[in-house]
Amino acid sequence: MSKIISIHSFRGGTGKSNTCANVTTLLAAQGMRVGVVDTDIQSPGIHVLFGMEEEDMKHSLNDYLWGKCKIEECAHDVTASLKANLSGKVFLIPSSIKAGEIARVLREGYDVGLLNDGFRGLTDALNLDVLMIDTHPGLNEETLLSIAISDALGIIMRPDQQDYQGTGVTVEIARKLDVPRLFIVVNKIPPMYNTDEVKARVEKTYNCQVAAALPHSDEMMTLASAGIFVLKYPDHQVTQAYKVVAEKLAG
Amino acid sequence: MSKTISIHSFLRGVGKSHIVANVASVLAAQGKRVAVLDMNIYAPTLNLLFGLGSLDVKNSLTDYLFGRCTLDSAAYDITSSLGAKQKGKLYVVPAEGRSGESALLLRKGFTVEQLGEGAHQLARALNLDVLLIDNGAGVNQETMISIAIADSLGVVLRLDKKDYQGTSLVLEIAKELSVPHASLIVNQAPSDYDLSEVKTKVIKAYHSDVAAVLPYSSELATLASDALFVVKYPNHALTKLFKQVGEKLM
């Protein structure tokens, strides 16, 4: 039975795309066939982590939503480009980075129901074990849909007042939508904090399990989304934490 | 004549609001009359940074754009948050109040004229030297309107690959909209980088001025949105850089 895992955050800049890309890679390393969809149509970014440029994008999620192609035609097998000899597969369904196409979505919107059909279509056509959804930040129609259909949800937050309230609302909603596996990931924790303490405090505040409390990492910041952290730093503390996140989300 | 400075970014979470709040604070501390407008309608941030609880907010930007009040009646004097005996003035116009109508506003939209007139009236009523506008991220109708009325534009980016293409796009749009002056603000540069080298590289890559390269600061990350950095750390190197940003944008 294939699983749908959504990675969400209330605000932007929490490290959602990096978390999604790294968890995707870890699952593929375990031999799974993993699809990853960038549903952040207004601000696409995860393709950068997989080294994809504009000219490499045959079709994007946008093309599917506008009825120009089937969903599986938007899937790009990026496994080889990771140069990591993974036993599984990574299929990326990117969002368009053409300014005109982004503008068009902002103007016209799209049928959110089509997204749902797309997710099902992908899982079947590509025989996926896992479908990872990199969501748009905040709570809106698309993100609520992704949460509603997910078997597991990872909510990324930073230890910043700006994130607290919104994360609380998202946890509540995920509970109401009966998401089977729900975890918080606290990211970019400044060096002065004790990550175990942060983990305990957040778990208590939201009454929700924290899959990992990730410290701010200079290596991650320097890598700057140019690649997949867990491949570059396989023995790093943050990589170990990502492994725990992957385990918890995949179940 | 009051100056309108608009602060943008392509990506979210690059630190725009912290930069706006801290630059506004140093300008006010230097004796200027400053107002900050929170146009981050999707995700308001400034009331938190300036300690303005939602219960204190009667009028907001949203109320003005729905035609219910003047923009200056939505301005709250928060000069005291900078400490006692300030030479200048600091006002904040929050994005929305208790009504939570921002979603409706976004659907209705607003015009360049509305924002332009509001900014003009605010500057006159409060006798402002500078109006700083904090925007939502990305390229959309609201952010483009804000770019269109700016005398000076600051585009914030981090040294993250996801940022590069989008930042070029914002600068292009600024050119098309004839913004008199645009500069980049590089934020959260890794602490072991040579900041002047980064500045040179960024100037070369974007053919644009760079107001400052701000290093990642664990003090700022720890302080987060609990308080204003420049008030808590008045002699910190980063505070000096915020002053530099203010000077360059003015």
The structural domains of chain B, ordered by start, are 3-249 (3.40.50.300)
Bridge partners (DSSP) listed for residue B213: B186
Q: Comparing C-alpha atoms, which of B199, B203, B202 is closest to residue B241?
A: B199
d(CA B224, CA A161) in angstroms, rounded, equals 7
Chain B nearest-CA distance from A241, in A, is 21
pLDDT value at A68 more than 80: yes
Q: Is A136 on the interface with B (CB under 8 A)?
A: no
Q: Per the CB < 8 Å rule, is B165 touching A97?
A: yes
What is each CA distance from A182 to A24, A133, A147, in whole angstroms?
17, 14, 10
| Neighbouring residues of A236: CB distance < 8 A, sequence distance ≥ 6 | A217, A219, A229
pLDDT value at A231 more than 90: yes
Q: Per the CB < 8 Å rule, is A190 touching B221?
A: yes
Q: Is A106 on the interface with B (CB under 8 A)?
A: yes
Interface test with B, best of A57, A160, A163 (most B CBs within 10 A): A160
CB pairs under 8 A between A and B: 79
Chain A contact set for B44 (CB, 8 A):
none
pLDDT value at A160 more than 70: yes
d(CA A60, CA A178) in angstroms, rounded, equals 31
Looking at residue A105, its pLDDT comes to 82
Dihedral sign from CA coordinates of B121, B122, B128, B132: negative
The fraction of chain B above a pLDDT of 70, given in percent, is 95
User: What rounded mean pLDDT belongs to chain B?
Assistant: 90
Q: Is A14 on the interface with B (CB under 8 A)?
A: yes
Q: DSSP for A101-130? A: HHHHHHHH---HHHHHHHHHHHHHHTT-SE
What predicted TM-score, i.e. pTM, was given to this entire model? 0.90
Bridge partners (DSSP) listed for residue B93: B37
| Structure token digits, residue A213 | 């409390």
Q: Is A169 on the interface with B (CB under 8 A)?
A: no
Q: Please give the angle made by the CA atoms of B132, B138 and B144, to the nearest 5 degrees.
A: 60
Q: Is A105 on the interface with B (CB under 8 A)?
A: no
SS3 call for A251: coil
Interface test with B, best of A38, A139, A161, A163 (most B CBs within 10 A): A161
Q: Which CATH number fits domain A3-250: 3.40.30.10, 1.10.1060.10, 3.40.50.300, 3.30.1380.10?
A: 3.40.50.300
User: Are A19 and A187 a contacting pair, CB within 8 Å?
Assistant: yes
Q: Which stretches of B132-236 are DSSP H helices? A: 141-148, 161-176, 195-206, 218-223, 229-232
pLDDT value at B23 more than 90: yes
Measured between CA atoms, the residue of chain A closest to residue B160 is A224
Q: Is A188 on the interface with B (CB under 8 A)?
A: yes
ipTM value for the complex? 0.84
- For residue A207, what pLDDT band results from cuts at 50, 70 and 90? very high
Residue pLDDT, tens place only, B137-178:
888 788 889 999 999 999 999 999 888 888 998 999 899 999
Bridge partners (DSSP) listed for residue B52: none
Burial of A231 by CB count in 10 Å (0-12 exposed, 13-18 middle, 19+ buried)?
middle
Q: Comparing C-alpha atoms, which of A240, A241, A244, A238 is closest to residue A223?
A: A238
